[in-house]
Amino acid sequence: MLYWIRQSFQTKFKRLKQAVRLTKSRAQHSALRSKSKFARTSQRFHATSKSTICSAEAVIIPSLPGVSQTRLPDPPFPHLLVCNQVPTDAEAELILDAIAQAQEEAARLTATFSQRRNAKSQSKDDHDHCSRTSRAWRLVTTHKIDQANIFIRQHQGILSAIRQLPAEILQEIFLHVAHFHLNHHDLQWRYNSTEHPSWALSQACGTWRTIALNMPSLWNRLPTIRLKRFCATTNLQVEYLCELLRRSSGTLLDLCIDATHFYPGQAAKRHHHATVDLLCQHAERWETAAIKLGVCVPGGLRSIKGRLTTLKSLTLSASRPSWFSPDSIDFFEDAPQLTSVHIATPFSRETPLPFAQLKHYTERFDDDEFQITRAMRSPVLETLTMIALNNELVFPTLTLPCLVQLHVEIPHQLYLNDADVGCFDYLTLPSIQDIRIISRIENMAPTLQRMLKNSSPCLALKRLALRFKFIEPGQLTDLLKLTPALIHLSATLPLGSDIDIHNLAGASLSEHAHRPLVPLLETCEFYNGDDITANVSTALNKLASSRCEPQPDNISTLNSNPLLSNETHRLRSLSIYFSEPVSFWLQPQHRRFEDWFLATTSFDLEILRDALVARLPDLLDYRYHEQSGIRCLIEHDEVRRILAKIDAVRVDHARDIYVSGVHYALKSIAKCQCPGTKNGALARKILDKWAPITDDPDALKHRHWARQGNRSLVYIPNDSSEKSYLRTESPIDIVLGVRDERPPMFSFESI
C-alpha cells in the first residue's frame, strides 16, 4: 500500500516538474518573441523617424530666415532639365552664365562658412546662446551650398557631350550593352538570367526610348523564358514576349527556354504551353536556341520540325541524370543552316541532327549510347569538345580533315580490352591547331603520341595543353618532336627525371649543346602535384636562363623560316603550377629555385609565421578579404604576442625575410585580416621597418622567381619590366600576385 502511495506521489511530482519546466520554456520563448518583435518595431520606428526628420528638414530649412536670400539665378531653360535635348548655341551661352553665377555664389558661401568656423569663440556668458545660433547658421549655410552645387551639376549635365552624340553612336552603344549582357559564355548563367537590359535603356529618357524602339536588333535576343503551369504567370509571360516580338520586327531571334519546372497537368493535351506555342509561331526566325528540358518535351516544339530555316546554333540539356530521357527529340534534323550543336547533358535516346553539316560540336556523354562519332564523321567539322564519362572509349579509324580544335576531358579511368590500345590511336588530324586533353586518372601521352604520328607533320599545331595524373620521363620529348611549330605549351611536369626539361632548354645531360625542342615556343606552363626533385629544379632554372633571358647571339635574318633556320624564339612566360595552394610545396620550392637556405634568423621567423598561420589559417589564401579569421579576443591577444615576437627579431638580410615567407603573412594581416586594428597596424609597422632592407637593389639582384597567385611561381627575366619594378619597389608588394592562378589554356566552357 505504501509502495503505491509513494509511486503516486512520485508520478505527481514528476508531472509538476514537467509542468513547471514547460511553463518556464513557454515564458522564455514568449519573452524572446516579444524582444524580437520589440526590436523589429524599434527598428521600423527609427527608420520612420529618420525619414520623417529628413522630410521635415527638407520642408523647414527652406522656410528659415535667410535661406531665401541665396543668390542663385533662375534656371534659364527648365525644360532642358527633364529631357536629353541638345541646347542651341544661344541657350548654351545663357546656361554657362547661370553656371558661373552659381559657382560664384557657392565660392562666396564656402568662404563665409570657413571664416565663421575659424573665428574666435564668443564670451563664456553667452556661449550656449551663441552655440545654438551658430548651429542654426551652419545648417542654413550648408543647405545653401548644397543647393548651389546641385544647380551647377544639373546645368553642367545639360552641356554634357553625351547629349551631342549622334544617334548612330548611341545605337552602337546600346547594341554593345545588350549583347554583352546576353552573350555570356557560361550556359548556367544564361539560364539564370531573366533580365533584358534593353528595357532600362529605353526608359532613360524620351530620346533614348525613340532610338531604342527604332532598333529591332536590340530586342531580338530574348531573356531566359521559364515555363510555369500557373495561368496568371503564363499570361504575363505571353504578353511580355508579344511586346518583344513586336519590337524585334522580323529580325532573327536568339532565345533560351527553361522547361525544368514545367509539369503539365493530365488535362493538358500533349503537354502544350502557351508561351512555347507563341515562340513556335516564329520558328522561321530562330537563329540561336538554348533549350533545357524537364520531365517532358513541350508539345508545341514538335510544330517547328521542318521550319527552322535560319537556325545556326543549338544547345540542348536536361535536368535529369543520364539514364533519364524525355520524349523523342527529332525536330532539329531538318535545319539547313545548323552548324553549331552543344549537347550539355547526356541523353540515352538518340537525338537526330544534321551531322553532315556540323562545324562545331560539344557533347558530354556517359556509359550509355553516345553520338559523338556521328558528329566526328562530318567532313566540315572544325571544333570538337567533349567530356567523356564512358569507361570504354575508343574512337574508330577516322580522318578529320578540317578539325582545328580538340578539347577532351576524361574524369574517370578507362577500362579497355587491349592495354596497348588508346582512345585516340586511330584518329588523324592533319589541320589541328589546338589540342587540350585533361585526364585526372590516366596517362594518355602514348595514345596522344600515336594520334600525332598519324597526323605528322603537325606544322599547324600551335597550342598543346595536357594535364595527366602523371607522365613518364621522355614522353613529353616524344610529343614535342612531333609538334615543331608549337607556340603555347601547358603540360604535366615529368617528375623524377630532367631529360624533357633539358631537351626543351637545348642542353642534354651530357652537356653537349643541341638545338632545343619547339624553337617557336613563347609560353610554357608546367603542372605539378608533388614535390619537385633537386635535379628537376636545376633543369627548370637552366630552361629559364637559356630561353627566358635575352640571347645576343640569337639573331636571324629577316623573312627567314624559323623552322629551317637556327632561330629560337624567346620564352615570354615560364610558370610552375602546384596542385595545392600556398603552404606545403610552394615555399620550399621557391627556396630551391632561388638557392635559399634556412639560417638561424630565417628559421625563427618561419616558426613565428607558422604560429600565425595556426591562429589564422586564411593567411594562406591570398583572395581572402574578410575579417572573420579571428574568432575571439583571446586570439587577438595571441596574434598580437606573435607579432611582437616577430618585431623583436633582428633582421639584417632580406634573404631571411624571403626564405621564411613571413612577409606574406604580415601583409595579409595588414590588408585583409585585420585592417584598421592594432594587429594590422603592428603588421604594417614591421613591414615598414623592413622596407629599407627589402628596397635595396642588391637584395633583388639575384631574384628571378615570384609568386603568381597562391599556387604558382613565375620566372621574371632580368630585363623584364616586372624585374625593374621589383628593384625599385618593395618585393613585399608582389606578395599576393596579380595574375590569374588558373591559366586560360585549361578554361573549359561550361558543358
Please tell me the pTM assigned to this model.
0.72
| Measured distance between the N- and C-terminal CA atoms of the chain, rounded to whole angstroms | 80
Q: Name the residue among 226, 242, 245, 236 with its Cα closest to residue 298.
A: 226
pLDDT of residue 125: 47
User: Could you tell me which CATH class the domain 592-726 is placed in?
Assistant: mainly alpha
pLDDT of residue 703: 78
pLDDT in tens, 443-459: 888 889 999 999 988 88
Q: How confident is the model at residue 740 (pLDDT cuts 50, 70, 90)?
A: very low
Average pLDDT over residues 471-484: 90
Is 393-549+567-579 a domain of CATH 3.80.10? yes
Cα separation, 453 vs 462, whole angstroms: 16
* Single-letter code of the amino acid located at 596: W
Nine cell digits for residue 270: 500533349
Instruction: Establish whether the linkage from the previous residue to 457 is cis, with ω within 30° of 0.
Output: yes
- Residue 242 backbone phi and psi in degrees, to 5: -60, -40
Please report the DSSP string for 622-680 in residue order. Answer: TT---S-S--SHHHHHHHHHHHHHHHHS----HHHHHHHTHHHHHHHIIIIISTTSHHH
- Which uninterrupted H or E stretch holds 192? helix 187-192
* pLDDT at residue 197 tops 60: yes
Other Cβ atoms closer than 10 A to 299: 18
Domain spans of the chain, in order of start = 1-63, 78-119+132-163, 223-381, 393-549+567-579, 592-726
Q: Which residues contact 391 (CB under 8 A, 6 or more apart)?
A: 367, 412, 413, 414, 415
pLDDT in tens, 274-295: 888 899 999 999 999 988 887 7
Nine cell digits for residue 489: 605549351
3-state secondary structure (DSSP) of residue 52: helix
pLDDT in tens, 591-644: 888 888 778 888 888 888 888 878 776 665 544 444 444 445 566 778 888 888
pLDDT of residue 635: 65
pLDDT of residue 432: 94
Burial class (CB in 10 A: 0-12, 13-18, 19+), 635: middle
Q: What is the largest CA-CA distance in the chain?
A: 119
Higher pLDDT, 188 or 486: 486
Question: H-type helices in 203-325, by residue range?
Answer: 206-213, 231-248, 274-280
Which range, 267-271, 360-364, 387-391, 726-730, is most confident?
Answer: 360-364
- Paired with 492 in beta bridges are 527
Q: How confident is the model at residue 745 (pLDDT cuts 50, 70, 90)?
A: very low
